[in-house]
Amino acid sequence: MIPFNKPYLTGAEHDYLSKAVALGKLSGNGHFTQLCQSFFEEQYGFGKCFLTTSCTDALEMAALLLDIQPGDEVIVPSFTFVSTANAFALRGAKIRFVDSKADFPGMDEAKVEELISEKTKAIVAVHYAGVPCDMDTLQLLADKYNLPLIEDAAQAVNSFFNGKALGSFGKLAAFSFHETKNVHCGEGGMLVVNEPQLIKRAEVIWEKGTDRAALFRGEIAKYGWKDLGSSFLLSDLQAAFLYAQLEHLARIQARRKAIWDDYSAWFSGKKDQIQVLPLSFLQLLEECLKGLGDVEFQSQPGNYHLFYLLFENAQLREEYIVRLAEKGILAVFHYQSLHKSEYIQNHQPEEYARHLPNAERFSDCLLRLPLFFDLPEVVVEKITS
């Protein structure tokens, strides 16, 4: 089976893991943690970075930092991973859902303002597929209503809006280093704190609610419980793995771009522009589409995180999944609209009752094709075996 995803290894991961072991600091906030955090701060102009065990944890840190309370409202897109909303629901917030754009799964910025009320405490922008939200529009709204803007940049490493890195716009931003992402450490994430006044408290929350980090820097004689927090730190072993990826980020991005461009060229009818994907693989993808109606395809590359096809309905999408599986290719759909989830039905029936047609369409009709660094080689191996 040609998988949907295969985690890429640069070759340096084992060496850095061995070095981390030799340094003798395996828990969080060690040598490789500092290297990774500095990489992002220096490469992209981010504020203070905190490696976390997941993007989910980074979002939960953000909810704590903003003091989200029961009865507060937080605006998020419906077409996103559950962590985007769950982090704030855990603090008792009511989630207000934004529809997707008609022509792209990302949130429709023009529909955010109508959801803002006196109870609104934050706006969460999700950069779907690494394609940036219109940060100018969202920042104007955040400034107009004096609301913090949070970036869920889980899929958006090395992606930009008007030349500025995603993750550097919001007061807070969260990234994912899950094995499906462009760079990864199996499971991992990062919180970016761009608001200087929040940095000190973020460190306390990150360290289980204590000022332990200040003790290790020699700033205090003993540490204590200062605030709410949790065990959010990524181990230095995982940070060592991640640093091996970050050193090769440019090469990883170049290969993913070549694969994304091949998909785009093929489905655009520009078949003479194919660079790395075997033609037999692309022909097979096309043959399996016969009789399945009009199919749209992703036109915005973002950071080459994924490539999707869009079918007319869920039945046609399911038929394509079955046809590809019979040929040994795994393709998968994506998010199910959160406003139609069982949790929202049980806890916020007024949101469940809303009709967000674009988000619902993408939930029913979107299909992601395999996209990973070694895809061309895996396809050749499959064909020749």
| CB-count burial class (<10 Å; 0-12, 13-18, 19+) for 133 | buried
Which pLDDT score is estimated for 21?
98
- What confidence category does residue 383 fall into, taking pLDDT thresholds of 50, 70 and 90? confident
Which pLDDT score is estimated for 385?
75
Span 127-146, average pLDDT: 98
Active-site pick, 48, 94, 121, 181: 181
User: Side-chain half-sphere of 372: how many Cα atoms within 13 Å?
Assistant: 22
- Please name the CATH architecture into which domain 250-384 falls: Alpha-Beta Complex (3.90)
Domain residue extents for the chain: 13-248, 250-384
Confirm whether 181 is a catalytic residue: yes
Average pLDDT of the chain is 98
The β-bridge partners of 192 are 49, 173
Q: Is the pLDDT confidence value at 384 over 90?
A: no
Q: What's the pLDDT tens digit per position in 45-81? A: 999 999 999 999 999 999 999 999 999 999 999 999 9
- What confidence category does residue 145 fall into, taking pLDDT thresholds of 50, 70 and 90? very high
Higher-pLDDT residue of 384, 52: 52
User: What phi and psi, each to the nearest 5 degrees, are found at residue 259?
Assistant: -70, -45
- What confidence category does residue 288 fall into, taking pLDDT thresholds of 50, 70 and 90? very high
Which pLDDT score is estimated for 313?
98
Q: Is the pLDDT confidence value at 282 over 90?
A: yes
Number of residues written out for the chain:
385
3.30.465.10, 3.10.20.30, 3.40.640.10, 1.10.10.10: which CATH number matches 13-248?
A: 3.40.640.10
Q: Which two tokens stand for residue 76?
A: 């998020």
Q: How many CB atoms lie within 10 A of CB 159?
A: 23
**Distance, CA of 377 to CA of 52 (rounded, Å):** 32
Helix, strand, or coil here: 87?
helix
pTM passes above 0.95? yes
User: What phi and psi, each to the nearest 5 degrees, are found at residue 98?
Assistant: -100, 140
Q: What's the pLDDT tens digit per position in 165-205? A: 999 999 999 999 999 999 999 999 999 999 999 999 999 99
Q: Which residues contact 304 (CB under 8 A, 6 or more apart)?
A: 130, 182, 253, 256, 257, 259, 260, 371
